[in-house]
Chains A and B, each alone.
Chain A
Amino acid sequence: MARFEPVLLANIDRENSHRLSVYESTGGYQALRRVLAEMDPVAFTELVKSSNLRGRGGAGFPTGLKWTFLPKGHPGPIYMCINADESEPGTFNNRVLMEEDPHQVIEGIILSSFATRATTAYIYLRYEYPLSYERLQGAIDEAYAAGYLGKNIQGSDFSLDIYLHRGAAAYICGEETGLIESLEGKRAWPRIKPPFPAVEGVFRKPTVVNNIETVCCVKQIAQRGVDWFKSIGVPADPKNSRDPGSYGPKLYCLSGHVERPGCYEAPLGITCRQLIDEYGGGVWKGRRAKAAIPGGISMGLLTEAELDTPLDFAGPGKVGCLGLGTAAVVVMDETVSMVDFLYNSCRFFAHESCGQCTPCREGTEWSVRMLARIKAGKGRLRDLDLLLEIGDTIGIIPGTTICGLADGAAWPIKNAIRKFRDEFEDYIKRTNPTGYLVTDPVPALQVVSLH
């Protein structure tokens, strides 16, 4: 397969790629000038809609359609929120864009704000990204000085201010409504929906929340056109009305046990094996892959046999994963213990659960405790069924929780145990051959388990 020519990452290897002069020298902000001069917000929204661009933040919702959910004729203000709280383990595609090509991000934000008539945009930035903060703030300052931000951008009647907001250092701050709460200065507890942010978002005003990579795609669509965008990726499935296709380039973060980990740009639809072998140089040390996470650990697991799964919006779902997610592939070689993987996965979600909804708050904690006990050689075979039940209860009954964190916590459990059950059983039999429940000594007068 011929190497795909990067678009989103085209500039990142240039010296001082984060500076305005370098960005402009490669045609930066030309698309913005043209759109402001030639199009109105409705026409530009239609353009993005016709591209079938799907959000790159994880859920894959059609971007142009999301913009149309804003109430028509609203007197404003309308807010644009850019989700740069990149916290999904294994994910760092936004970071590359923010650090190496921040003006592409800003141009995308301006175009997206123009389409939605937003006059204020907030970039909600992951706290742990100091260089992104520095580069983005520098780029914002340069953009103001050059007339790309502020009043009457480039002589048009469109004005926009961008504020860079450092996050509260929690995974849940990246959840759409948790982000909004946090931006408002509150604890990042996700909001119940409806109302959806498009109707009541930041400061109870209509708000669009878009991802960094998404707005960069918007910029590329404005620059290169819909036909170019739709020539990349996987077309819509005519037999499945619920599959609108996966178009455009995608940034894949490759990490774990590969020779060349990194952030790579490839067409949507590349298979996981292609990514590992052709971009990542194969599994490190010549070992075999045992499993891979297709798009952040909340998406579940691919087995070695499933590595030919196309990494588009529909592919991972066909092999029992939640979806493409952030397309952050983490490779595990044959030496990795699935018990360890699942323990770490559960520990992460239990730590990051906001604690608002009971099933998530208690379910994630319950799973990590069980896995800790299993790891410590005190597991029982029936623990596996109970873990699956917890996973199903917090993740399969839709609506069990306010946000999707519990779903994300459930998929690694379900995938790891269903796809690697033998390994879990072997581990338990080996470490606790009697199968008895061994508990720590408890003080007298405590309630004792009767089973």
Chain B
Amino acid sequence: MGTVIVDGIEVAIGDDEHLNGIEVARRAGIEIPHYCWHAGLSVVASCRMCLVESGTRNPDTGEITVVPKLVPACQTPAKDNTVFVTNSDRVKHSRAFVEEALLMDHPIDCPICDKAGECHLQDYFFEHGQAQRRADIRPFTSKKRDVGPTVTLFADRCVMCTRCVRFTREITGTSELMVIDRGSHDEIDVFPGHPLDNRMSGNVVDLCPVGALGDKDFLYEQRVWFMEKHDGVCTGCSTGCSISVEENQDTVYRLKPRENPRINQWWMCDEGRYGYHHVHSTKRLVGAVRRDASGATAIEWEQVFSELPARLQGAGPLAAVISPHLTVEEAYLLATYIRQIDPAARLVVGPVPVEGTDETFPNGFTIRAEKCPNRRGVEEIVKHFGCESEVYEAVQSDVAAGLIGGVWVSGGYKTDTFDAAAAQALSSGKLLVVQDLFASPVTEVADYQLPGPAFPEREGSYVNCADRLQSVPWAIRSPAGVRTDGSVLWRLLGRAGLYRSRTVLDEIAATIPYFALAAGPVSPQGVALSETTPATTTT
């Protein structure tokens, strides 16, 4: 253990901790302003906003020796007896000058800038800036430059922190971005004909501390202060990145990576980032439908709850196709419900979409080929009910062969997963219940077509490919007419009160050893269910 003194506050650091001045100050509750430093990137110490006084305390005499130079806190290691002074007049003067200098040529276009509300330049100005603007005011232009399919650059808003350049060099290894020109004419740019076009390009927008890099998908869509941010898990692939779902009045406007050193660090891929538009598709199923000899009829959910149990009981041997897009809790409830009706019911993991091969970037971040968030969790649920080796395809053929009478198919897929052949096979039994997001050949022949929720509408837990369980709340309400799988099954099981995933997870953790470590509170970084499983990435 060591002790670092920040503005007179003693901060304990571990022997194996390598913290810089900014990080150790945070422990003392002190925020040192900075632009160029980012924990996930190399240190360049160029913005000079984090300059502080630094020195050493003599452990024997207690005497403090301060070096005459101001030092960048981002580049100064915090060791035992290191002293940082972050609030002296020299430091304040230095910060104020840097802030004033940055604003000299920066357009004050906060009313239209996408970053307003979360701009460091704006925030630091109020906290550290000069009371008066002394530089001559010049007409500002807003030079917009297309740097790639997902990102646009407003060059004159840039503060040359070079985080984006370093990201493409150090994280993706693609090096599309560079600095051109010199001095105050410095600009970020791409080489002609080589746009910023990699599978993680959207991260540079998150990294930009000002409004220089804009996300084309989000540009001018929403002011950040109108949105609410909810913890989420990306359901785009089995990495299961920790994300934030940002919405306003039940409309999702953007997804952002949520820092999680055990899974995705600070990043997410573009596929996941922009893979939410289906949530608000006009093609979503929004009402329950019963189909019989006279055709398809819209019915109320209450009718579903009143007549479906009897129909399932009368269908003979049952099977449930449990989608890997379901949460652990939903999968458990579905399995429990089907087994309640038919103790010998077949339970299988639904189709697991696979596209291409895993792609791993130089820093270890991996985009998985397996395009679902919870195969591991559903597998363990199914295994618990004694159906370890069952496969989805077998259910199809068994229904066609008359061995299974009723099937419950859960969905949640973004893409077409069930084809006409599946529909023909599954509909040959006595009863087919399909709960899904979009119409498909299977919903078209289902006896009961139940509209399902999209991922931001679900609450519950997902287990990623590395056996890490994350629990998230729902971010938006489902469209009218849609009920979540969890709430439907909760009701069908006849349980009292509202569906709460935490209640179900407690039950699962107490029942299934694989989930035992989820018994306590699940941290925002998730919980490793398998002690032997390494993290996807480490810091």
Interface centre among B46, B48, B68, B183 (most CB of A within 10 A): B183
Chain B residues whose C-beta falls within 8 Å of the C-beta of A451 in the assembled complex: 132-134
Q: Is B97 at the interface (CB under 8 A from chain A)? A: yes
**Whole-angstrom CA separation of A121 from B329 in the bound complex:** 67
Instruction: Find the residue from B44, B98, B136, B179 having the highest chain A CB count within 10 A.
Output: B136
Contacts of A351 in B (CB 8 A): 182-183
Chain A residues near B183 (CB, 8 Å)?
350-355, 361, 364-365
Residues of A with C-beta under 8 A to B90: 397
Q: Mark A408-451, 1 if CB is under 8 A from B, else 0.
A: 00000000000000000000000000000101001100111101
Q: Give the residue of A187, A358, A447, A448 whose beta carbon is less than 8 angstroms from that of B47.
A: A358
Contact present for B68 and A398 (CB under 8 Å): yes
B189 beta carbon closer than 8 Å to chain A = no
Closest approach, in angstroms, between the C-beta of A437 and any C-beta of chain B? 8
Q: Does B308 contact A (CB under 8 A)?
A: no
Known contacts A358-B159, A359-B97, A442-B139; A192 and B186 CB within 8 A of each other: no
B407 contacts the other chain (CB 8 A): no
Residues of A within 8 A of B47 (CB): 357-358
- Residues of A close to B160: CB separation below 8 A: 355-356, 358, 361
Known contacts A187-B179, A402-B46, A362 near B94 by CB under 8 Å: no
B45 at the interface (CB under 8 A from A): yes
A400 pairs with B48, CB closer than 8 A: yes
CA distance A357 to B162 in the complex (A): 11
**Do A366 and B46 touch across chains, with their CB atoms under 8 A apart?**
no
A residues near B43, Cβ cutoff 8 Å: 192
Q: Are B98 and A353 closer than 8 Å at their CB atoms? A: no
Kindly identify which residue among A362, A393, A397, A447 contacts B105, using a CB–CB cutoff of 8 Å. Answer: A362
Bound-state Cα–Cα, A375 to B528, Å: 68
| Neighbouring B residues of A448 by C-beta, 8 Å | 137
A397 touches B93 (CB 8 A): yes
Asked if B136 and A449 make an inter-chain contact with CB atoms under 8 angstroms apart, the answer reads yes
Most A-side CB within 10 Å, residue of B132, B139, B159:
B139
In contact, A357 and B48 (Cβ under 8 angstroms): yes
- Whether a CB of chain B sits under 8 angstroms from the CB of A363 is yes
Contact residues in B for A361 (Cβ distance below 8 Å): 101, 160, 183-184, 186
Does B135 belong to the interface (CB within 8 Å)? yes
Q: Is the CB of B137 within 8 A of A449?
A: yes
Using a CB-CB cutoff of 8 Å, which residues 139-192 of chain B contact chain A? 139-140, 159-160, 179, 181-186
Q: Which residue, of A366, A399, A437, A451, has the highest number of chain B Cβ atoms within 10 A?
A: A399
Chain A residue at minimum C-beta to C-beta distance from B186:
A355
Q: A187-B179, A361-B184, A393-B94 are in contact. Are A192 and B45 (CB under 8 A)?
A: yes
Known A-B contacts A398-B68, A400-B51; A370 and B136 likewise in contact (beta carbons under 8 Å):
yes
What is the minimal beta-carbon distance from B161 to any residue of chain A, in angstroms?
Answer: 9
Say how far A390's CB is from chain B's closest CB, in angstroms.
8
The distance in angstroms between the C-alpha atoms of A442 and B136, with both chains bound, is 12
A305 to B104, CA, bound (A): 38
Instruction: Please give, as numbers and ranges, the residues of chain A lying within 8 Å of B71 by CB-CB distance.
Output: 399
Task: Give the complex CA separation of A213 and B267 in angstroms.
Answer: 51
Would you call B78 an interface residue if the criterion is a C-beta within 8 Å of the partner chain's C-beta atoms? Answer: no
A399 and B104 contacting across the interface, CB-CB below 8 Å: no
Whether, in the assembled complex, B205 has its beta carbon less than 8 Å from a beta carbon of chain A, the answer is: no
B104 touches A192 (CB 8 A): no
Evaluate whether A358 and B186 lie within 8 angstroms (CB atoms) in the complex, with A393-B94, A397-B90, A401-B48 already known: no
From residue A386, how far is it (CB to closest CB) to chain B in Å? 6
- Report whether B70 and A353 are in contact in the complex, using a CB–CB cutoff of 8 Å: no
For the complex, what is the distance from the CA of A379 to the CA of B527, rounded to whole Å? 65
Q: CA separation between A192 and B71, bound complex, in Å?
A: 11
Known: A192-B75, A397-B70, A398-B70. A358 touches B49 (CB 8 A): yes
Measured in the bound complex, the distance between the Cα atoms of B160 and A364 in whole Å is: 16
Closest residue of chain B to A450, judged by CB? B133
Q: Does B517 contact A (CB under 8 A)?
A: no
Interface pair B94/A400, CB less than 8 Å apart: yes
Q: Once bound together, how far apart are the Cα atoms of A446 and B141, in whole Å?
A: 10
- Give the complex CA separation of A370 and B182 in angstroms: 20
Give the nearest-CB partner of B54 in chain A: A399
Smallest CB separation, B122 vs chain A (Å) = 14
Assess the A359–B101 pair: CB atoms within 8 A.
yes
Residues of B within 8 A of A354 (CB): 182-183
Contacts of B453 in A (CB 8 A): none
Quick check: B45 and A439 within 8 Å, CB to CB?
no
Contact with B along A390-407 (1 / 0, CB 8 A): 000110011111100000
Tell me if A373 is interfacial: C-beta within 8 Å of chain B: yes
Task: Please state if A447 and B137 are interface contacts (CB–CB under 8 Å).
Answer: yes
Q: How far is the CA of A386 from the CA of B186 in the complex (A)?
A: 24
Residue A327 interfacial (CB < 8 Å): no
Q: Does B108 sit within 8 A of A, measured CB to CB?
A: yes
A362 pairs with B137, CB closer than 8 A: no
On whether the beta carbons of B137 and A353 are closer than 8 Å, the reply is no
Instruction: Decide: A366 near B104, CB < 8 A? Known: A192-B43, A373-B136, A399-B70.
Output: yes
Residues of chain A within 8 A of B45, CB atoms compared: 192, 402
In the A-B complex, the 8 residue pairs with the closest CB atoms? A399-B69, A362-B101, A355-B186, A365-B184, A353-B183, A398-B69, A399-B70, A393-B97
In addition to A354-B182, A358-B101, A359-B101, 4 A-B residue pairs with Cβ atoms within 8 Å of each other are A351-B182, A357-B48, A397-B93, A439-B136
